[in-house]
Each structure stands twice: as C-alpha cells, then as structure tokens.
C-alpha cells in the first residue's frame, strides 16, 4: 500500500505517534475531547497544573496570608525567578531575563534602552532604527514612538535586505525571529553578527519562536530581546511577557520606564531614582501576581524537556502536514507561503486560499482549530508538547474534505 494515500497516511500517523518520545507530554495539558488544536501560536493550551495553583494563590496566598505573601509566598521575587525558568528555553543564563508587563511595553523599554546605549558611546552619526518591514503591526507602532523619543528615524527593511541596509548610520535593528503570518524563520545568528559588524545593536522579538525552537540568545550575542509567554510557553491569555538584557549591557541599560520595582532600594521611597543591578532594572511597577504565578505553574510542563527535541518534532509535524495537505486538498485550492527549508521554517504553516475566512470557520466547526489572517491566509500552529501526528493527518483530511465545498 502506498503511504501517499488516505489510508497510508493514517497508518503512518499512528506509527509516527507510537515512535514519538514526546507523546506523553500531552497528558500535562487539559484539552477538549475530540478537538485538534492548531492555534497554539496564538494561545497555548491549558497546563494541567495551573487550575490548582491559581486556586491556591487566590484562596490561600491572597485570601489567608494577604500581604504577607509578598515575602512568605515569594511574590516579590517572581519576575526574576520565572525569568530564570524561561532562560534555558531561549538560550540565556540566569539573571538575564525579567518577567512582567506586556510584549509591547517591554519592546518600548528595549528599543529606547538600545538607542540610549548607542548614544552613550558618543556615536552621534547613528540616527537610524531599522525595523523589520513584515513585523507585527504593534512592533511598528512602538518602534515609531521610541524613535520619536530618541531622535532616530525608522527605516523599514525586508529581512532579506537587512545586511545591505546596514551602515554607519544604523543605531538599532528590530527583527522578528519568526514571521507571524508566514512562519518564516529568520537568521538570528547571521543577522545579529551583521548588525554588530556595522556597529549597531539588535532587539529581537521572540514571540513566535520561544518554546518552539532553540534561540541561543547568549551564544549569538543578542543585545536585547522580548517575547510573550501565552503562545508556545502556554502561560495563559494575557500572561506577562519578558525582557532579556545581555549581561554586558546591564550596568548601562537606561530604561525609559523607571519604576519603584526596579529601584535599588524599592522600599526606601527615595525621591531620586537609582536602578537595581542586573536585569531587575527592567521591572517597572507592581507585578501582575495572579497571571504571573499561573505562568510559573504552566512552565512546569517543560521539566525534563529539551527544546532541541521539541524542534525536531516540530519540523516532523510541519513536514507531515504539508505532505498530507498535498494528498488531501484538491490541486490549486491552497498555496503554502511557509518556507519548505527547515532552516527557514518556524513551527507553523500558513496556507493561502480563496475564501480562507469561510474555510477556517468550517474547520473550527468540525473541531480543527487554527486561525485566519486577513486577507486570505489559513494559519496553523504546531505545539509539539501536545500536538500529535494523528492530529495533523485529521486536520489536513478535514481541510481536504471541505475545501471543495466552500466557495472563494
């Protein structure tokens, strides 16, 4: 029997699941029965340990211990403690990541902080902020505001054209590690090295890569990075983001949002601001304890899980999905805009299709949850911790079943 038939693909999916060393990790999540969830690149699934942890935080730590929990329950140290748990997932040493605020707020801190680091070197000729032209819109909005504050000029640049755009006027470069629409993985090591060779600093947005593939922040000498925690890290809706500050920049990092939580003596209530040492100067105000401790519990699912194994399964899942789509979906009905090459692919597949919005509505109605991106993209995110190969085969088969029945 040919493997490239519906029956053959179904058998292969079962064989791949049986051989999957990560398959038991699905037990660490609470997923609805009968649902194939391929939208973890927007909101990760609920980790099994989170409900009880949140109930304890609310009922005991807040309800009984009250304000004592800042000390007795470790609330005060949560931003750096949880940052140290995220660190190995993005290739960072302890003490370089602080958790809190949103991705947008952290991006603002990082961009202004990077511009101030460049200015402190006395390199007055650097007046350009190069921004990934394909970036998530909010990143562009924040970059424009940061540029107005620091006297820089925003220069949109396609990622492939970045090396040629770098020059003596480049101060800071903002790039996305993985493009949120297409799933294209950009060359973090190469582009960081090119920016440094030109005398610029880098800020990387890791929202669509952290928890899906190795990043190597320290190894590749990234200057600053930000990311959310509610996608592949499964921290929950609106869970706090994080800020990475390379150790070599921490002593000079000048945050545009100094708050009492990042003061060297936060309870002294001094009128003058003196920043704390290390990445803690990335803190601002009182942390969001409920969502932060839910995130901490969610990170338990990563215990004993090497991100390299997650990457290997991610590539296998996306390869298999593309193969199944080719077999199940009528020719010409969809077109993949996600790169085939592993070195250029994140952990999602984006398919362009006429009538994409209606196709996705029907997929969701049939228990296959992905998402739609205007104007014509079906986007499927593959979280290897809980997505299996049978899920992939079912999703492609369902898409093939309905794609000839939903008009463009």
Contact 61, 73 (CB under 8 A): yes
Q: Collapsing DSSP states into helix, strand and coil, what is residue 259?
A: coil
- Bridge partners, residue 224, by sequence: 203, 245
- Return the closest-CA partner of residue 343 out of 181, 179, 186: 186
Asked if residue 34 lies in contact with residue 223, where contact means CB atoms within 8 angstroms, the answer is no
Give whole-number Cα distances, 236 to 5, 43, 161, in Å: 38, 7, 36
DSSP state of 186: P
Tell me if residue 293 falls in helix, strand or coil: helix
* Residues taking part in catalysis: 136, 205, 230-231, 379
Q: Which two tokens stand for residue 304?
A: 């004993």
Q: Which two tokens stand for residue 143?
A: 């970059």
Q: Which of 305, 262, 308 is nearest to 76 (CA)?
A: 262
Q: Is 151 left (phi over 0), alpha (psi -120 to 50) or beta?
A: left
Distance between CA 266 and CA 142 in Å, rounded?
28
User: Rounded CA gap, 95 and 79, in Å?
Assistant: 11
Q: Are 224 and 243 in contact (CB under 8 A)?
A: yes
**DSSP class of residue 178?**
B
- Token duo for residue 404: 């000839």
The answer to whether the peptide bond before residue 375 is cis (omega within 30 degrees of 0) is yes
């Amino acid at each position: 029997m040919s493997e490239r038939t519906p029956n053959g693909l179904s058998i292969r999916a079962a064989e791949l699941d049986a051989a999957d060393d990560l398959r038991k990790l699905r037990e660490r999540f609470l997923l609805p029965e009968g649902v194939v969830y391929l939208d973890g690149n927007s909101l990760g699934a609920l980790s099994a340990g989170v409900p009880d942890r949140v109930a304890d935080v609310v009922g005991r730590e807040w309800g009984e211990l009250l304000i004592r929990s800042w000390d007795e329950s470790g609330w005060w140290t949560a931003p750096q403690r949880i940052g140290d748990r995220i660190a190995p997932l993005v290739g960072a040493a302890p003490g370089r990541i602080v958790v809190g605020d949103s991705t947008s707020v952290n991006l603002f801190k990082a961009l202004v902080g990077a511009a101030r680091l460049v200015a402190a070197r006395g390199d007055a000729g650097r007046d350009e902020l190069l921004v990934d032209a394909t970036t998530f819109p909010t990143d562009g909005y924040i970059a424009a505001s940061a540029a107005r504050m620091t006297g820089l000029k925003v220069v949109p640049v396609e990622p492939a054209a970045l090396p040629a755009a770098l020059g003596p006027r480049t101060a800071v470069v903002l790039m996305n590690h993985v493009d949120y629409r297409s799933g294209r993985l950009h060359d973090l090591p190469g582009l960081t090295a090119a920016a440094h060779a030109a005398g610029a600093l880098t800020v990387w947005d890791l929202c669509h890569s952290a928890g899906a593939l190795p990043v190597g922040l320290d190894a590749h000498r990234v200057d600053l990075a930000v990311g959310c925690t509610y996608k592949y890290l499964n921290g929950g809706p609106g869970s706090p983001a994080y800020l990475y500050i390379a150790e070599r920049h921490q002593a000079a990092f000048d945050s545009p949002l100094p708050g009492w939580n990042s003061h060297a003596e936060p309870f002294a209530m001094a009128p003058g601001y003196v920043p704390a040492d290390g990445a803690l100067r990335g803190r601002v105000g009182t942390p969001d304890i409920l969502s932060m401790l839910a995130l901490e519990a969610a990170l338990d699912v990563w215990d004993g899980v090497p991100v390299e194994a997650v990457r290997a399964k991610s590539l296998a899942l996306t390869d298999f999905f593309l193969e199944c789509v080719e077999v199940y979906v009528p020719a010409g009905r969809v077109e993949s805009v996600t790169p085939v090459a592993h070195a250029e692919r994140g952990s999602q597949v984006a398919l362009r299709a006429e009538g994409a919005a209606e196709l996705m509505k029907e997929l969701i109605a049939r228990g296959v949850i992905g998402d739609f991106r205007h104007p014509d993209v079906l986007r499927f995110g593959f979280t290897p911790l809980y997505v299996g190969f049978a899920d992939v085969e079912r999703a492609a088969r369902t898409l093939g079943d309905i794609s000839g029945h939903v008009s463009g």
